[in-house]
Structure 1
Amino acid sequence: MRADAARNLTTVLRTGARLLAEDPSTSMAAIALAAGVDRTTIHRRFASREALLQAVFRAKLDASERVLDDARLAEAPVPVALHRYLEGIIPVSREWPVDTRRMMEQDPAARDRRDALSERLLAFLRRAADEGHLRSDVDASWTYATLGRLVDTVAHDFPTMQAPQAADLVADTFLRGLGAR
């Protein structure tokens, strides 16, 4: 793919993610206009808004998978892995604000990928509890949901907070709120 075509694709995906998160009925024409590309550029690559949305979901999943890999959730000490995860996932959440739960009925393969990524994070949270960093009397699904809400809150309600500072705040709130007593 030519460099300009790759830039256009990235711009279309990021713009589509932002606009579709704000309004799921956003038209392809509106996305093209906001991305600064011709409508035919989008239609040449994506047959429909749903196809574009699936590509956005895949891009978010790709970015999330890289964050999980880089955090080294299974190997690094829990506080270090948690901070690495947070410092990576907060920008991903900002860049790709679409809720991947919306893809469940549209793209079974993406749903399976999302489930696998979720399971990796759940395994990390179980490890954190087993090692005494989190309360062992709280189900991992609750800590998972809480962590997700904290990430979502800092990513979208505090968009000017830099990722390292946001990661510090979320990690402290999470570990003190659900930390072992």
Structure 2
Amino acid sequence: MRADAARNLSTVLRTGARLLAEDPSTSVAAIANAAGVDRTTVHRRFASREALLTAVFQAKLDSAEQVLDEARLTEAPVPVALHRYAEGIIPVSREWPVDTARLMQQDPDAHQRRQGQSERLNDFLQRAVDEGFLRSDVPLEWVRAILDQLVASAAHQCPDLAPPQAADIVVDTFLNGLGKA
């Protein structure tokens, strides 16, 4: 793929993620216009609006997968891995604000991929409990919900915070709010 075509594709996907997060019924024409490309450029690459939506979701899943890999959830000390995860996933949440839940209903492969990512994070949180960083008397589902909300809040409610600063706050709040008494 030519460099300009790759740049256009990246711009279309990121613009699509932003606009679809704001309004899930956004048209391909509106996305193309906001991305600064011809509608035909988008249609040449994506046969339908659903194909564009799938590509946006796949790009978000790719980014999340990279964050999970780089966080080293199974090897790094729990606080370090947690910080790496938060520092990486906050920009992903900002860059790809579109909700993947909708795709999960339509695309079994994407659902399975997202489920695998979720399991990796849940396994890490169980490791944090097992190693004494988190209380064992709190349901893991609750722990996960709190982490997800802290990340979402840092990403979207505090957009001016740089990812390292936002991760500091997320990790401190998470470990001290749920840490062993």
Q: How far apart are 1:139 and its partner, in Å?
A: 1.6
Alignment of 1:47 onto 2:47:
yes
Partner of 1:81: 81
Equivalent position amino acid for 1:58 in 2? Q
* Counterpart amino acid of residue 27 in structure 2: S
Tell me the residue number matched to 2:38.
38
Give the distance between the partners of 2:15 and 2:170, measured in 1 at CA. 27
Indicate the residue corresponding to 1:3 in structure 2. 3
Structure 2 residue identity aligned to 1:156: H
Shift of 1:156: 0.7
Length, aligned pairs only: 181
Residue ranges of structure 2 left out of the alignment (5+ in a row): none
What code does the residue aligned with 2:91 have? Answer: P
Q: Which residue of 1 aligns with 2:107?
A: 107
Q: SS of the counterpart of 1:79? A: helix
Amino acid at match of 1:9: L
Q: Structure 2 matches for 1:61-100, cutoff 5 A?
A: 61-100=61-100
Pairwise CA RMSD: 0.6
Correspondence for 2:12 = 12
* AA aligned opposite 2:72: R
Q: Superposed, which structure 2 residues align to 1:120-131 within 5 Å?
A: 120-131=120-131
Q: In the TM superposition, what whole-angstrom CA distance separates every residue of 1:15-70 from its partner, at most 9, and x where no partner exists?
A: 00000000000000100000000000110111121111110110000000000000
**Counterpart position of 1:168:** 168
Aligned equivalents of 1:69, 1:30: Cα separation in 2: 34
Task: Name the CA distance, whole Å, in 2 between partners of 1:141 and 1:108.
Answer: 23
Deviations 1:136-161 (A, max 9, x none): 11121111111111111110111111
Normalization by structure 1: what TM-score? 0.98
In 1, Cα distance between equivalents of 2:139 and 2:130: 12
- Kindly provide the CA deviation profile for residues 114-157 of structure 1, in whole angstroms up to 9, marking residues without a partner as x: 00000000000000000000011112111111111111111011
Aligned to 2:151: 151
Counterpart of 1:87, as a letter, is: E
The alignment's TM-score, normalised by the length of structure 2, stands at 0.98
- The answer to whether 1:132 aligns with 2:108 is no
Shift of 1:100: 1.2
Q: What is the percent sequence identity of the aligned residues?
A: 73
